[in-house]
Structure 1
Amino acid sequence: MDFKKTIKAHEEAVVRLKQECIPVIEQMAETCRQALQNGHKILLCGNGGSAADSQHIAAEFVGRFVKERQGLPAIAFTTDTSILTAVGNDYGYDEVFRRQVEALGREGDVLIGISTSGNSGNVVKAFQQAQKQGVKTIAFTGMKESKMSELADLTLRVPAPVTARVQECHIMVGHMICEYIDGDY
């Protein structure tokens, strides 16, 4: 294992992110800021490591990021095992996030879907439902065109070919959005 090589690959992904993605990151942060300032909430979903990132980002909003401020409304759809297992059992796993958007999403809210492939069926269905309800959609994906990027209002396509590097950039961008919003509270 060459740890220096891994760090170099991470650094290269971050450099490309900086070169290619700042304008869309700024738009994402501003979309979230406006939603929160207008009394709406941030909804998040993803599978596996992206589920963990969804929970992590929601915790930064509800708890705090860096500075002390009021809690901000954010829900990770990945945390309620009763909903996940009931909906998964009764309707199928592809419905677990869509059903939560249907129940909890309101016009003006923002749904952040995280998927390195951009093709996770349950996140795609959540985006489709969000569109029907006037919920804005933000996709965190890898570099390839995907179903999520076709549906999303805004897409962060991390310019890295390796899933781990994409995930590292996803959590960094999640932190950047939290830091941007912290400035308002």
Structure 2
Amino acid sequence: MKQQILNHLAEHQKAFDHLRSHMVGQIEAVADLMVGQLSKGHKILVMGNGGSAADAQHFAAELIGRFLAERRALPAIALTTDSSILTAVGNDYGFDQIFSRQVAALANPGDLVVGISTSGNSPNVLEALKIAAAGGVTTLGLVGRDGGKIAAVCDHVLCIPALYTPAIQEAHIAIIHILCDLIEKKMFGTGA
């Protein structure tokens, strides 16, 4: 068991070493993008499946509630939470459409649609990002491995080039926390 723990920590460390050595500038650029859009009254829509759905909900909660600073609520929607929409669209149109129908209804130019996928190939996330792009909405892929099909359709991509899914997920939540911290500091001051 100790070796399993050490193996997990080694994979985690590789992902975080990549974050530290290759992605700082990319994360800062995405934070600036988000600050610009939120400052103009636009919203962030976030989606993913499984653990990435939980990350989407976590991200929206940090923006609407707070990360570390007391400040006004910021507009964010996790497209993973309305069971009536998910089951109705899934039943009537298919699971691949559960996010794209929401993006078509809710996203406007100036908003940001964020798709989270550890493989970079989740069909329902990919379809929603295509709909966003076709509607002139800015897109961000928070992905893993080689970025998959999602990386090819997004305006911005933050990719963890690991094969070990738990390490990708751990890096994704770290990126989300960093983005929330930077958004608060940039929008509400260094004391935030």
Q: TM-score range by the shorter chain?
A: over 0.9
* Alignment length (residue pairs): 185
Length-normalised TM-score, structure 1: 0.97
Matched AA of 1:96: I
Q: Which residue of 2 aligns with 1:170?
A: 172
Distance in 2 (CA, whole Å) between partners of 1:51 and 1:60 is 14
Deviates more, 1:48-57 or 1:130-139: 130-139
Q: Which residue of 2 aligns with 1:93?
A: 95
**How far is 1:6 from its partner?**
1.7
Q: Which residue of 2 aligns with 1:81?
A: 83
Q: Which residue of 1 aligns with 2:106?
A: 104
Q: Which residue of 1 aligns with 2:19?
A: 17
Q: Deviations over 1:8-52 (max 9, x none)?
A: 321221011111112221121111111100110000000000000
**How far is 1:160 from its partner?**
1.8
Matched AA of 1:121: P
Distance in 1 (CA, whole Å) between partners of 2:29 and 2:148 is 20
Percent identical pairs in the alignment equals 48
Structure 2 counterpart SS, 1:155: strand
Q: Is 2:69 the partner of 1:57?
A: no
Distance in 2 (CA, whole Å) between partners of 1:145 and 1:15 is 18
**How far is 1:157 from its partner?**
1.1
Q: Which residue of 1 aligns with 2:38?
A: 36
Distance in 2 (CA, whole Å) between partners of 1:13 and 1:98 is 30
Kindly report structure 1 stretches of 4+ aligned residues shifted beyond 3 Å: none
8 A Cα contact 2:100 2:124, kept in partner? yes
8 A Cα contact 2:11 2:164, kept in partner? no
**How far is 1:132 from its partner?**
1.5
8 A Cα contact 2:120 2:145, kept in partner? no
Q: Deviations over 1:86-109 (max 9, x none)?
A: 000110000000000000000000
Length-normalised TM-score, structure 2: 0.93
- List alignment gaps of at least 5 residues for structure 2: none
Q: Is 2:129 the partner of 1:131?
A: no
